[in-house]
Structure 1
Amino acid sequence: MTSKISNVDTVKNAESTPDQEQPYKELGLKDDEYARIKEILGRRPTDAELAMYSVMWSEHCSYKSSKVHLKYFGETTTDEMKSKMLAGIGENAGVVDIGDGWAVTFKAESHNHPSYVEPYQGAATGVGGIVRDILAMGARPLAVMDPLRFGKPDAPDTKRVLPGIVAGVGGYGNCLGLPNIGGEVVFDETYQGNPLVNALCVGAMKVEDLHLAHASGAGNKVILYGARTGLDGIGGVSVLASETFDDSAGKRKKLPSVQVGDPFTEKVLIECSLELFEKGIVVGIQDLGGAGLSCATSELASAGDGGMHVWLDRVPLRATGMTPAEILSSESQERMCAVVEPANVEAFMEVCRKWDVIATEIGEVTDGDRLVITFHDEVVVDVPPRTVAHEGPVYNRPIQRPADQDELQANTPDALAKPAEDELLELIKSQAASPNLASKRWVTQQYDRYVRGGTVLAQPSDGGMIRIGEDTHRGVALSTDCNGRYTKLDPYAGAQLALAEAYRNVAATGATPVAVTNCLNFGSPEDPGVMWQFEQAVKGLADGCVELGIPVTGGNVSFYNQTGSTAILPTPVVGVLGVIDDVRRRIPTGIGAEAGETLLLLGETRAEFGGSEWAHVVHGHLGGLPPKVDLQREKLLGEVLVAGSRDGMVSAAHDLSEGGLAQALVETCLIGETGARVFLEGDLFTELFSESAGRVLVAVPRTEEQRFTDMCTARALPWRKVGVVDPESNALEIQTLGSLPLDELREAWEATLPALFD
């Protein structure tokens, strides 16, 4: 009788055919990596083992080029910072205790390359994957955010990828019933062909409901539940994100299929999982994202106290004739893997039947130290799980400061032609209409920002804010930020400026910043100049977090974001989480309609235009140094804003970043639908367009002006009065320059993206 698996490569066959050629290079493995696998196993790998090692040792999954640098986060985290975390780097997502028995988990991930190949599904499954990371911690997902970056806005490829990516983010999140409360949309020619699609999710749970990914307890059962396993996504994000673009063809050297998402299946999976957590019948849990079952089984076994045996032929499939390697490598979405005590298996299955979720017992925890996978009673995988999940290659890539870095910094914007005073009003309007500063309403109107009724603030507010539960007013605020031009000019300072802006945006909502996640997007790690940028950015971010006293709880690294030798701007996106004990005292971004409220500018303004939006838009210039960052000042500014919120002294707040004071005035007036009269002294161009950090524009009721300014003075925070709220004028009036009607400003601000993409 012919064996059911006569064409399947088993361990027994691998032992007897040591010289059989294998396509390890096509799977992304180097010669020395393949040799090391054979050394670990004492034989050549089977096809299934080769597939597991290739995806798990990919750049995306193993962090083999970044590990030596990422450890700096752990080395610099103080005991006080660690005390704020319930789970940190190495878990599916970071978790912090926010008081009253509540914990919040949040994380950002990248889905850049799949979104270039297939914009809608790449972006949609990026959202689905990060949501499952949050769910796997035991939390109910509450909201998502989407930091996005694209090439030149009028480029044909941008017009191909942007609408699909936005539709994918919105389509998946909307169907899940998760509000999208913020993010970014940034354009720069370096992202041409390399769009960045970063996704963040935040969830909440009671502290005692925290779950971690580990398979402990010999005899415990491994249950796969959720969608069936198909051929979609094989070698997807794990391989696709670990190689650069072919500059001659403008395409990937490998084009594995991109995962296909089904948000309705995921919605049911979420509710099913939350009921399983509530009933206390899960020992450990792991979502299936990049690398699929290869990741879930090896990581669960590696983090446990024993081994694991998996019966691969039990996995529910949606394609016929799938090989063990394909089943293990599939990145089909909406799947979870749980470890359950035998006595609770039936209760587990009963919950899954209630939600009509497919659940199958595919393995069990063993008392050995091996991950053994069989297929129709034949062993196709027999490996030490840690060698797959956690002991992959580690590279100390060459690092070299780029030869042109000094020249770049020496090319300051000082010699650029500055506008005459009578041209400033027109510049304010044209800057507001530039793609990076224009309203992103065309994007955000495709997202449901208020579903479930917990949203307190959402884009275009400085930070998103959401109430964490129906029976509490406690909430969290989030912001993601990064200016890649700043990081290009000085990676260390640029990463700190990203941290400072996200921190400032959260504080401007009235929330206290408490934790950080990151999504570090860079070019090829095989380029010594890129690795210098990466090393500097990691150190800048880690050192900045120490100075602010808030920990990095986790994050993501995305390399190979480049076409040929042209890398993207180094883009270390930083997400900051803040906590507010009562969302009813949140600070809005737009000024209100109470006449006579005072507009105060907090912080100091200097002539800082390196990497500025003005230099970029008007002159196409990038050079010099970015604005100086003073993290102690940022911390003080945050404390003042939180105090102003708590004591009812601040009615609106808007941070100053790209576009400077001019853009902040435009946005705070348009968002609040209220006019203002502004009076400035000195060099009006610098006052309006400088991008000095550590500044916030606040509106203060007249009854609170003295108390608020006394507090600023007592704490040595620079402040000055720059205007008053004037709802009667329906214009932004700048003394000595003239008046800009709000209707005219709104048309300029809101028309750009619809004109480009409708």
Structure 2
Amino acid sequence: GASLLASFELGSGDDSKRPSVQVGNPFLEKLLMEATLELVSMDAVEAIQDLGAAGLTCATSEVSAKSGVGMRIDVDVIPRRAESMTPYEVMLSESQERMLVLARPGRERDIERVFERWELHGVQIGETTHAQVLEIQSDGTTVASLAPRWLADDAPEYDVTEWAKSPQAGDASAARGHVTGASVAVSAAPTHKIGLELLEVLSSAAVASRRVLFRTYDQMVGTDTVVTPGLGDAGVLRIKGRRDGLAVAIDAQPRVAAVDPFVGAAAAVAEATRNVVCMGATPLAITDCLNLGNPERPTGAWQLERSVAGITAACAALGVPVVSGNVSLYNATRGVDIWPTAVIGVVGHLDDVAKHIPVTSGVPGDVVLLAGNASVAIGTSAYGASIGVHEGPVSIDLALEARLQRFVLDAQARGSIHAAHDRAEGGLAIALAELALRDGIGMKVTLPAVRGIDKRVALFGEAPSGIVLVVAAKDADAVRALAGERDVPVWTLGTIGGDLLEIAPVLGMPIASLREAHGHGLARALGREA
């Protein structure tokens, strides 16, 4: 659902918007989820709905409308986190970790006991009625009364495509900080500095290890974590008592979306699903969070429409449904809208959680392959950001993406893959460096030969649909043959071994230097390094 905060611009001193400001508590959310599952298993409830957008107003009206009943709600008994809240604020509050539960007659005390056991508030706030009227009472007085369908089914709808308009090229370039002609300078730069540039990109905020962030949280709650954050392309979780497991990942492509919202949103879906595929998991479904500027303006409406279209196209091509979503609109800094950013979360399924693709560098003698698309560019890359370049065009071949993901899963099913890593932020050079960092084993490789792409662009350029694979030498021919059958381009880059990342003929970098740059870059940028 869309948060009420997505319906207006929020400035300083906007106390009237206070009910919509959300403060999440993931541990309390976990308790609520467990309590809810217990209520369902007890068959003690008629209906359950989470309190999301517009809080109780949305939940009560939707449940009433769907059930063909009315409700009488007493706002005075509803627990609240702030004093002096009006009935209006209580009904619209979007405080997190809350459920609306409709108890089966006579089971009210059973439900209260479940909430008490999980140390949660469980308060009876009203009752259903035969009359299809949603009635809100406070201090013995009716403060609101209306048919629930007016809110749930008959609310006004807006078609933003009616006023959506693509920005002029000059306006879009200015908003992105476009540097005319800067891409030409990339090809002209001397190659002897490439090693230093690799370390600079590896330590940048876009690429460096996120350990300083995720170590703040306990990743082993419930002891179900198989692959922890920061190791592979996705986290892997077991399901207690079962053989199968789950892989989870999130992604966003704001620099791409700033150039083309459709491609940026589609690329985010592609990369998130590609990340779970790199763990050997089949993508099951996605959830999305659309973060944009003001949709009441022509450009904002166009960005919203194109972002939704991009997600739709990618999900159709990759065969994954959108099972939930969220939206945050009217986001701006000093009057300038943010880049349209679709954040995509994906869940993938592993038939056997113990047989995920290993998070390893491979073993000496293994063959390194690049599968997919090698036509990369600097324009929206992390390297481009470091030198002031942000330009298009951008594109994505969703049919190739689908074939690439299916090929990797097929190769994994045959036991052919020792390691897999998505070519993402920072390009091929970063993907190879991160592979080497897994076990501290080097490699000797060459760059794929692609017409019109020089060495620096081949190293740091980015594009969708690229995966680096590490396979046993004895399996390399079979993997290449399978790629041919699946119509997936593949390049043989080199072999695993040694203590250097050697990308002939442009650089040779000790693993220790890579580890220092990657491991400490973000912490230093945040001023959080001990």
TM-score of the two chains, using structure 2 as the length reference: 0.89
Q: Are 2:89 and 1:364 aligned? A: no
Residues 266 and 481 of structure 1: is their aligned pair in 2 closer, same or farther, counting only changes over 3 Å?
closer
Find 1:656's aligned residue among 402, 423, 428. 423
**Correspondence for 2:389:** 621
Q: Distance in 1 between matches of 2:10 and 2:74?
A: 37
Unaligned runs of 5+ in 1: 1-60, 64-236
- 1:282 pairs, out of 45, 48, 66, with 45
**Deviates most, 734-743 or 651-660:** 734-743
CA distance, structure 2, for counterparts of residue 570 and residue 407 of structure 1: 12
- Match of 1:477? 247
For the residues of structure 2 that align with 1:615 and 1:265, how far apart are their CA atoms? Answer: 42
Partner of 2:374: 605
Q: 1:733 aligns with which of 502, 505, 508?
A: 502
Do residues 692 (structure 1) and 463 (structure 2) align?
A: yes
The amino acid across from 1:721 in the alignment is T
Residue 198 (structure 2) pairs with residue 436 (structure 1): no
Which residue of the partner structure matches residue 493 of structure 2?
A: 722
Who is 1:384 aligned against?
Answer: 147
**Per-residue deviation at 1:639?**
1.1
Quick one: distance in 1 between partners of 2:14 and 2:470? Answer: 50
Amino acid at match of 1:585: K
Give 1:287's aligned amino acid.
D
- The answer to whether structure 1 residue 537 and structure 2 residue 302 are counterparts is no
Change (3 A) 1:303 1:458: farther
The answer on whether the counterparts of 1:590 and 1:673 sit within 8 Å (CA) in structure 2 is no
Mapping of 1:219-618 within 5 angstroms?
238=4, 240-244=5-9, 246=11, 256=18, 258-259=21-22, 265-316=28-79, 322-397=85-160, 398-404=163-169, 408=173, 414-418=183-187, 419-460=189-230, 461-467=232-238, 469-592=239-362, 594-618=363-387
* Residue 366 (structure 1) shift: 1.6
**CA offset digits 1:95-147 (Å, max 9, x no partner):** xxxxxxxxxxxxxxxxxxxxxxxxxxxxxxxxxxxxxxxxxxxxxxxxxxxxx
Could you tell me how far 1:737 is from its partner in structure 2? 2.9
Per-residue deviation, 1:511? 0.9
Residues 1:705 and 2:476 aligned together: yes
Structure-2 separation of matches of 1:691 and 1:319:
48
Size of the aligned set, in residue pairs, is 514
Post-superposition shift, 1:470? 0.9
| Shift in alpha-carbon separation, 1:333–1:595, aligned structure 2, 3 A | same
How many angstroms apart in 2 are the aligned matches of 1:724 and 1:576?
32
- The correspondence for 1:640, drawn from 407, 428, 432, is 407
Deviation at 1:318, TM superposition (A): 6.5
- State how far apart, in whole Å, the 2-side matches of 1:680 and 1:264 are: 47
Change (3 A) 1:501 1:393: same
Per-residue CA distance 1:616-672 (angstroms, 9 max, x = gap): 112x1212212x311111111111111222221101100112211101011111123
CA spacing shift, 1:317–1:530, aligned 2, 3 Å: closer
Residue 124 of structure 2 aligns to a residue whose secondary structure is strand
Percentage of pairs with the same residue = 35
Q: CA deviation at 1:526?
A: 1.8
* Per-residue deviation, 1:278: 1.5
Tell me the alpha carbon deviations over residues 40-63 of structure 1, each in whole angstroms, 9 at most, x when there is no partner: xxxxxxxxxxxxxxxxxxxxx6x5
User: Is 1:747 paired with 2:516?
Assistant: yes
Do 1:412 and 1:610's aligned partners in 2 also have CA atoms closer than 8 Å? no
| 1:474 to partner: Cα distance | 1.1
Unaligned runs of 5+ in 2: none
SS at 1:416's partner residue? Answer: helix
Normalised by the length of structure 1, the TM-score is 0.64
Are the structure 2 counterparts of residues 252 and 420 from structure 1 closer, same or farther at C-alpha, using a change threshold of 3 Å?
Answer: farther
Query: In 2, Cα distance between the equivalents of 1:410 and 1:675?
Result: 36
Instruction: Work out whether residues 413 and 624 of structure 1, in 8 Å CA contact, stay in contact via their aligned partners in 2.
Output: no
AA aligned to 1:449 is Q
Asked if the contact 1:245/1:563 (under 8 Å) is kept, the reply is: no
Matches of 1:567 and 1:318, distance apart in 2: 32
Within 2, Cα distance between the matches of 1:446 and 1:410? 38
- Alignment partner of 1:676 out of 437, 440, 443: 443
**Alignment CA distance shift 1:531-1:329 (3 Å):** closer
CA contact (8 A) 1:412 1:625 kept: no
Aligned partners of 1:253, 1:665: CA distance in 2, in Å? 50
Distance 1:363 1:451 in 2: 36
Residues 273 and 646 from structure 1, CA distance in 2 versus in 1: closer, same or farther, beyond 3 angstroms? Answer: same
Distance 2:179 2:29 in 1: 52
Q: Report the residue type matching 1:640 in the other structure.
A: F
Q: d(CA) in 1 for partners of 2:458 and 2:198?
A: 12
Query: What CA distance in whole angstroms lies between the structure 1 residues aligned with 2:327 and 2:95?
Result: 22
Contact 1:371 1:382 (C-alpha < 8 Å) held by counterparts: yes
| 1:488 shift after superposition | 1.5
2:525 maps to 756
Q: Deviations over 1:362-389 (max 9, x none)?
A: 2222222110122343222211112234
Classify 1:309/1:569 alpha carbon distance in 2 versus 1 (closer, same or farther; 3 Å): same
